[in-house]
Structure 1
Amino acid sequence: MLKRVLVVVLVAATAGALAMTAAAVPESRATSASTASPGAPSSATPTGSSTGPAYLADREPTFSEDFDTPAAAGGPFAETYRNSWQPYPDGAGGKYYSDELISAHDGYLDVALDGERGAAGTFGTPTGAWSHVGGTFSIRARATGGDGNGIAVMLWPTSNAWADGELNYPEGQFDGSPRVFHHSMLQGLERRTEHYNTRVSWNDWHTYTTEWVPGKIIRYYLDGKLVFTVPRNVPTTPHRYMFQIGNWGAPGHVQIDWVRTYDAE
């Protein structure tokens, strides 16, 4: 898992206000093997639409963002995408400066890593981003450079209670491979995880999908192929879909082509 990351979790206090608390991101301790194929690298350009489960082809996403409107960092991005992206306040945790690092151009969100500042926030509307109870969550992304740094894309409990469940995918150091880290929901044992190594490169575009059936099962997909399934420690309470990037390592970029969420029917 990511090293030294401080999770700063934000919850909606009102439609226009946020409250902030902090908790440490845990280390991985337990392993669960998977026999699924890790999948092949995809195109170096942000094309393709694979999201995971076949049934999604017949459904409209609850939330969808393609980042097609160019917007500079430093304020314009946050304003342009205010109904799609809820960033941590600049300076949160002493390390996150999302407004200063994130822009949109060439059809994708771009986090410009400088090795000193990180970025974090939640996908969705100001009022709807914190209310997911089950569903399917997809992101198409890649990273260039940033060695020594990493990202955690996650479903994090709106309650901020770790034992309500943490589902991280993709997560990992950029000089390694994207992984699944599926956390225990046992009080006091939340650091324990079951995890899966995709063995693909962060440098290539890939689609990462988490399918969450509350209280029953979690399925993880890579480029539309099922690669890992966990039938235990499955959340049943509201979560938010978000990412965090650290503030260390070499300069680089995290690029997100699109994000889709499909709430449970």
Structure 2
Amino acid sequence: MALFTARRLRAAAVAGILGSLLLGAAPATASAAAAPTLSSSGLAATVRGFEVTATTTVTATSPTVVAKFGVCVRGADRSNFDFVKAQNVTVGTSGYTQTATQTLPAGSYSYWTCAYYNGAWLTLDSAKPFVVSSTPTVDGPDIVSMPKGDLPGWKQVFSDDFTTNAAAGTFGDVYKNKFSTYHGFADSYNGGTYNRNILSANNGVLDMFLHKENGRPQVAAPAPIVTTPWAGQTYGKFSVRFKSEALSGYKTAWLLWPDSNNWSEGEIDFPEGGLKGTMWAFNHCVGNPSKNCSWVDTQTTYTSWHTLSLEWTPTRVTYLLDGQVVGNDTKNIPSSPMHWVLQTETTSANAITQDGHLQIDWISVYTYSPGTTGTAVPTSGSTAPVTTTSGAAQIETASAWKRLG
């Protein structure tokens, strides 16, 4: 729809009045007030990853009902990406502020304040640009030290940097108020046994000693307790800094799993992959979780320290590695409560030829809170090269089922 500026609308009104006077129309009476004039201020857009939040404030010279107003957006090809607008609101001299958020594909955009008033679209200010990068930096190139406090859009509800030492065999007692753990049953492939006693904490690092006892691989799956054991949340950000030795036969399948244990509600894995290979991400299709609706091969191995984050909002699932977005899914979004499990297990007991260690420096969990401005400032470090892959549903041959204990 063509946009008409407020100036053109006012010019048309003036022309109409002059025409009436030339035709001998009676002059306006003192009781007939002039039509209110709309104006805007505070137009701004904040880009965070693929998520963009835009705000504007509209005022009127006298109280009037505006059918629609907000922020209009056009892509480089003039495609329409308008934000959700306020509708049928009374605008006066004190102003009415409209803020909206949406997920946009990578590209260059222009945006401005627009209003539908008196049967016409008005442009209330000059257009401004913003850019959504194909590999945007969200938390900085790398979070080296554990963030303490909220981040923009996220409220921190759990953190642990393992400053309390716990010898092997005591982790379940020392950290009983912070972590639940699988214990005493077979892992997903029936190749190993979950055993909380292989966990220990020393000098600020959680250690998983992956090894065989009596010929049986021992694995572990700690789960942060945010509220109560095995109770999760709907939407959130889940961050961890870790590294591992390259161990054949062992893998991670660190995942968000439905509180209901109903797999059809979804499953999100990151990182998933053999410890001798590279880290992948999988978003299982809601309603048909034996397939994946998106996946990513980061082409990054486990053997150096990396900071990983999984962001889950009502409109997207985003994977971040060392501060860089490596994958983004806006179509297959779980909406049921899920909890986070750092599930570490076997791929094939026959492939295990050595013992070794996976180490975790710190863990942090956040709830989704769009209005939070943030108090934590992460530090910066190195980046890692990545390749993103996504597309139609795919059978995940590496993992077909996850168990809870």
Superposition TM-score, scaled by structure 2 size: 0.50
Residue in 2 aligned with 1:143? 244
Match of 2:305 in 1: 205
From 131, 141, 145, the equivalent of 1:48 is: 145
Q: Over residues 52-75 of structure 1, what are the superposed CA-to-partner deviations in whole Å (9 max), with x where a residue is unaligned?
A: xxx71686510101111110121x
**Matches for 1:126-141 after TM superposition, within 5 Å:** 127=228, 129-141=230-242
Conserved? CA contact 2:154–2:367, under 8 Å: no
Deviations 1:117-141 (A, max 9, x none): 1212311256165231001111111
> Any conservation in 2 of the 1:82–1:125 contact (CA below 8 Å)?
no
Q: 1:217 to 1:104 in 2, by over 3 A?
A: same
- The alignment yields a C-alpha RMSD, in angstroms, of 2.9
2:356 maps to what in 1?
252
Counterpart of 1:72, as a letter, is: A
What is the identity percentage for the equivalent residue pairs of Structure 1 and Structure 2?
31
Q: Distance in 2 between matches of 1:137 and 1:233?
A: 18
Alignment check: 8 A CA contact 2:155 2:367 kept: no
Residue type matched to 1:65 in 2? D
**Contact kept? 1:212, 1:218, Cα under 8 Å:** yes
Question: Structure 1 residue 208: deviation in Å?
Answer: 0.9
Structure 1 residue 235, shift from structure 2 partner: 0.8
Instruction: Name the residue aligned to 2:336.
Output: 237
- Which 5+ residue runs of structure 2 have no aligned equivalent? 1-133, 370-405
Match of 1:11 in 2: none
1:173-199 deviations in whole A, cap 9, x for unaligned? 011111111111133x53334211111
Distance in 1 (CA, whole Å) between partners of 2:287 and 2:155 is 35
Partner of 1:166: 267
Q: Quick check: 140-149 or 123-132, which moved more?
A: 123-132
Cα distance, 1:126–1:117 mapped onto 2, change above 3 Å: farther
Contact kept? 1:86, 1:125, Cα under 8 Å:
no
Q: Which has the higher strand share?
A: 2
Unpaired runs of 5+ residues, structure 1, are: 1-34
Closer, same or farther in 2 for the Cα pair 1:170/1:92, shift >3 Å? same
Q: Aligned residue pairs: how many?
A: 222
Q: CA deviation at 1:36?
A: 4.2
Corresponding position of 2:291: 191
The corresponding residue for 1:219 is: 318
Q: Does 1:90 align with 2:184?
A: yes
Q: Over residues 48-103 of structure 1, what are the superposed CA-to-partner deviations in whole Å (9 max), with x where a residue is unaligned?
A: 3479xxx71686510101111110121x2111111211011223557433322111
Q: Could you give the per-residue CA deviations for residues 211-231 of structure 1, whole angstroms, max 9, x where no partner exists?
A: 1113x2111111111121001
Q: 1:70 to 1:131 in 2, by over 3 A?
A: same
Q: Tell me how far apart the structure 1 counterparts of residues 226 and 201 of structure 2 sit (CA, whole Å).
A: 18
Query: Cα gap change, 1:135/1:59 in structure 2, threshold over 3 Å: closer, same or farther?
Result: closer
Contact 2:181/2:221 (<8 A) preserved: yes
State the match for 1:16 in structure 2: none
2 CA distance for matches of 1:96 and 1:233?
32
Question: Any idea what SS the aligned residue of 1:71 has?
Answer: coil
Q: Pick from 94, 100, 105: which aligns with 2:202?
A: 105
Distance in 2 between the 1:246 and 1:134 partners? 25
Runs of 4+ in 1 over 6 A off after TM superposition: none
Higher CA-based Rg: 2
Contact persistence 2:270–2:280 (CA under 8 A): yes
Corresponding residue for residue 223 of structure 2: 122
Partners of 1:82 and 1:253 in 2: how far apart? 22
1-side partners of 2:258 and 2:224: how far apart? Answer: 14
Higher normalized contact order (CA 8 Å, seq sep 6+, divided by chain length): 1
CA contact (8 A) 2:146 2:364 kept: no
8 A contact 2:153–2:368 mirrored in 1: no
| C-alpha contact (below 8 Å) 2:236/2:312 kept by paired residues | yes
- Aligned residue number for residue 161 of structure 2: 66
TM-score computed with the length of structure 1 as normaliser: 0.75
Amino acid at match of 1:221: L
Whether the 8 Å CA contact 1:88–1:96 is kept in 2: the answer is no
